[in-house]
Amino acid sequence: MSATGGDGRTERLLEVKDLTVGFPTRDGTVLGVDGLTLNVGSHERLGVVGESGSGKSVMGLAILGMVLPPGRIMGGSVRWKGENVLDEAVANRVRGREIAMIFQDPMVSLNPLKTVGAQLRELLQRRVGLQGRAIKQRSLELLDMVGIANPGDRLKSYAFELSGGMRQRVMIATALACDPTLLIADEPTTGLDVTIQDQILTLLHNLSTELGVSVLMITHDLGVVAQFCDRVQVMYAGRIVERAPIAQMFADPQHPYSGGLLRSVPRVDRAATELAGIPGEPLDRAQFPPGCAFEPRCGEAHDTCRGAPPPLVKIAERRWVACYNRPGEAGETST
Amino acid sequence: MLRWLAKRIIAAALVVFVVTSLVFVVTHVFTDPATVSLPLEASQEDRASRRAALGLDRPLSVQYWDFLSGLVVGDLGESFFQTQPASKLVFERLPATLRLVAGATAVTVLMGAPMGMLAAWWERRFADHAVLGFSMASISAPPFWIGYLLIIVIAAQLRWVPTFGSSGFKSLILPSFAIGLASAGRLAQMTRRGIVEELRKPYAVTAMSRGFSRSYTIVHHTFRNVASGFVTMTGWEVTRMFTGYTVVIEVVFSWPGVGRLAVDAIFDRDLILVQAAVVVLATMVVLTNLLVDIARRLIDPRVDLA
């Protein structure tokens, strides 16, 4: 499979293979991420979409080799330009400088007791190695880049003195401080007003184009994916169930879960009565069925589905799906 | 900031006024200094003449006005038993109590903060368990017992420092530890929990995701966020020292402070002197809280500016 668009312009940056993150509980280990495989190429905007509890946020940090205790990475590999990110020495180099992350709630993701200027300064000083006047200059440039007016005044502001949209812009500025090649954006617009959401997405889109930064967009919102991404992976219960270019996913979802997700999104060109939920509840992660995790909620399930989880198989060029009802091309599997 | 400070100071003065008025109510409405100073079986005539002698037969409002106007110029009445101005007796003793509180606070902060930091740094490792064990032990032991133990072992057996009295810095060491160990234990636990909790917060995770190490994040990101709670808790400990620990420890160590003066005054049935000691100690508590407010305001810009 070609890295991304197949137009030869892109190179493969991030390769995640079989990444598994476990959390010990009273009932045994629960897998937050279960055999995740994904690739991000240069100049690419990949979306990972799934409902709450599907392991999206755990995934974002795990890609940087970080898991909040007591969880831990139990298997798999994360390679950045061929180097093993799960090696702490490599991770220290890659974090922030190559891959930078943007988090959901910028109110709590910025240090409440440090000014915007101080938070930019420590990055520019310690992670980039700038000194003296260059720090201030670059700080102003970064704030200007993310569309903050009067950047000079804002350097002295604390997070609590900024609006939600401004905070997320500052967050993006801190992420861009070290010129990363990949941004991991974990629900960057959740909790913001719709108009602000749109502004932030547009900003991220423009920045990724202008700076040539790839983006891994983690979201529950298919609208964000449609507006922002080139390619999308659908996650369910810690596993990828479908992977497709954006247009094909929306035109012709293959996995029953992807189909359900699409039908549950309100659209202005359809009557509200056509809005459909997915029957059943998201899985309690402690009670994994042995087979396909979606089987209990799936309308098309049969006996095979209760046996073992279906592998992610290639069903067409750039299209992969993990479903026994969608047999793939022989020999092309990628769990 | 200055406006805020002025408001805080006025509020503190108001609290002192209310507290001292409450003290007056207790010592003049529920009972009176004359009654307390006499034996229970004293006759009505004896009480009446003692009341008249102390001016307690005047209307309560007049007495209250006297009390308040005295308070403003630092006159807290006359000790019945020692026949000296109560304020003079209390203020003579105050420096010794302040020294003791300062020593105990130094022990509290200089032991509590590093222990909490060590425990958080090596979370769930040996140092963490050791600190927890130490703090549990120090918190569970009553200060008077720790003091007694220190006197027996370090002063009487090893003869490193004097067993009692307040002669110089050396004699300050044992009573300071007797009071400060438990406070240090509580502060260590609070500090450890604070740092560990802050490290899990999104801003700390964000810092680490930008490539800052755990140690850098602890020092440069969590400390300041823990500092506000640390200062507040230290303030509580100091408050408890003024109103409780020093009283007990001054008795155990024969320390010539306000606490022991108050205890002696209680045994002497000298209500005026007790009242003076309480007013001064309460004022110390209010001042402590004022200092804590100012410190928190300097640490955290979000502290209410109103």
pLDDT in tens, B238-285: 999 999 999 999 998 889 999 999 999 999 888 889 999 999 999 999
pLDDT of A284 higher than 80: no
pLDDT for residue A8? 47
Distance, in Å, from the CA atom of B271 to the CA atom of B35, rounded to the nearest integer, reads 9
Name, in order, each residue with C-beta under 8 angstroms of A161's C-beta and a sequence gap of 6 or more: none
Name the residue in chain A with its Cα closest to that of B296: A113
CB contact under 8 A, B225 and A68: no
Token reading at A225: 């994916």
Residue B213 amino acid letter: S
Residue with tokens 């009242």: B275
CA A32 vs. chain centroid, Å, equals 15
CA distance B56 to chain A (A): 56
pLDDT category of residue A30 using cuts at 50, 70 and 90: confident
Tokens read off for B22 = 């409450």
CB B76 within 8 A of CB B276: yes
Give the model's pLDDT for residue B31: 81
- Cβ neighbours of B300 in A, within 8 Å: 112-113
Q: Does B4 touch chain A (CB under 8 A)?
A: no
Alpha-carbon Rg of chain A, whole angstroms? Answer: 20
Would the pLDDT of A16 be above 70?
yes
Task: Give the model's pLDDT for residue A95.
Answer: 95
Closest CA–CA distance from residue B197 to any residue of chain A (Å):
12
The pLDDT-based confidence of A96 (bands split at 50, 70, 90) is very high
pLDDT at A276: 66
DSSP structural state of residue A311:
P
Residue bearing the bigger pLDDT, B191 or B158: B191
* DSSP 8-state class, residue A282: P
Percent of chain B scoring above 90 in pLDDT: 58
* Residue A72 contacts residue A21 (beta carbons within 8 Å): yes
Q: Which residues pair with A41 in a beta bridge?
A: A12
List the strands of the sheet with A83-84, edge to edge. A28-41, A12-25, A72-80, A83-84
**pLDDT score of B304:** 67
Mean pLDDT of A64-89: 91
Q: Residue B95: what pLDDT?
A: 94
Q: What is the pLDDT of residue A5?
A: 43
Q: What percent of chain A has pLDDT over 70?
A: 87
* Residues of chain B by 3-state class (helix, strand, coil), percent to 5: 80, 0, 20
Is pLDDT at A4 greater than 50 in this prediction? no
What CA–CA distance (Å, rounded) separates B11 from B9? Answer: 5
Average pLDDT over residues A298-317: 86
Mean model confidence pLDDT for chain B: 90
The pLDDT score that the predictor gives to residue A3 is 41
Answer yes or no: do B207 and A111 touch at CB < 8 A.
Answer: yes
pLDDT of B24 strictly over 60 = yes
In three-state secondary structure terms, A86 is: coil
Q: Which candidate in B203, B222, B225, B228 is best for mutational testing of the A interface (most A CBs within 10 A)? A: B203
> First CA to last CA across chain A, in angstroms?
14
pLDDT exceeds 60 at position A333: no
**Hey, are the CB atoms on B210 and A103 less than 8 Å from each other?**
no
Average pLDDT (B122-147) is 92
At residue A14, the pLDDT reads: 95
Is the pLDDT assigned to residue B33 strictly greater than 80?
yes
Token pair recorded at residue B204? 């700390």
CB contact under 8 A, B208 and A108: no
Q: From chain B, pick out residues whose CB is under 8 angstroms from the CB of A177.
A: 210
Looking at residues B154-170, what average pLDDT do you find?
A: 77
Task: Check pLDDT > 60 for residue B82.
Answer: yes
Closest-CA residue to A280 (of A307, A255, A256):
A256
The nearest CA of chain B is from the CA of A215 a distance in Å of: 16
From chain B, pick out residues whose CB is under 8 angstroms from the CB of A160. Answer: 301-302
Angle at A25 between CA A19 and CA A31, to 5 degrees: 20
Residue A304, both tokens: 């095979």
Residue B26: other Cβ atoms inside 10 A = 13
Task: Please state the length of chain B.
Answer: 306
Residue A223 pLDDT exceeds 60: yes
- Interface check B129 vs A, CB under 8 A: no
Query: How far is it, in rounded angstroms, from Cα A248 to Cα A229?
Result: 12
Q: pLDDT over 90 for what percent of chain A?
A: 54
Average of pLDDT values for A182-204? 91
Residue A92 with chain B: CB contacts under 8 Å: 211, 213
**Vertex A97, ends A95 and A98: CA angle to 5°?**
80
* Least confidently predicted of A40-49, B26-35, B125-134: B26-35
Contacts of A127 in chain B (CB under 8 A): 210-212
Contact A109 B302 (CB under 8 A): no
The pLDDT of residue B301: 82
* Contact between residue B185 and residue B110 where contact means Cβ atoms under 8 Å apart: no
List all residues 6 or more positions away from B28 whose beta carbon is below 8 Å from its beta carbon. B56, B60, B63, B64, B67
| Residue ranges of chain A whose CB lies within 8 Å of a chain B CB | 61, 64, 66, 68, 92-97, 100-101, 103, 105, 108-114, 122-123, 126-127, 158, 160, 171, 174-175, 177-178
What helix, strand, coil percent values describe chain A, rounded to 5? 35, 25, 40
Partner-chain residue, chosen from B201, B207, B208, that has the shortest CB–CB distance to A108 = B201
pLDDT at B182 over 90: yes
- CB atoms closer than 10 angstroms to residue A287: 9
Of A97, A108, A112, the CB nearest to B302: A112
State the pLDDT at residue A64: 94
For range B290-302, the mean pLDDT: 90
Q: Are strands A83-84 and A72-80 parallel, antiparallel or unpaired?
A: antiparallel
Which of A102, A111, A156 to substitute to test the interface with B, most B CBs within 10 Å? A111
Q: Does B59 touch chain A (CB under 8 A)?
A: no
Q: Do the beta carbons of residue A333 and residue A311 sit within 8 Å?
A: yes
The tokens for A114 are: 């440090």
Determine the Cα angle at B195 with ends B176 and B104, to 5°: 5
pLDDT band at A287 (very low <50, low <70, confident <90, very high): low
pLDDT digits (tens, 9 = 90+) for A112-151: 999 999 999 999 999 999 999 999 999 999 999 999 999 9
pTM to 2 decimal places: 0.84
- A268/chain B closest Cα distance in angstroms: 36
pLDDT above 50 (res A2): no
Substitution target in B205, B210, B216 with the highest count of A β-carbons within 10 Å is B210
Token digits for B73?
A: 């110029």
The verdict on a CB contact (< 8 Å) between A158 and B210 is no
What is the pLDDT, as a whole number, of residue A329?
59
Amino acid, single-letter form, for residue B106: A
pLDDT band at A206; cut points 50, 70, 90: very high
Residue A24's pLDDT is 87
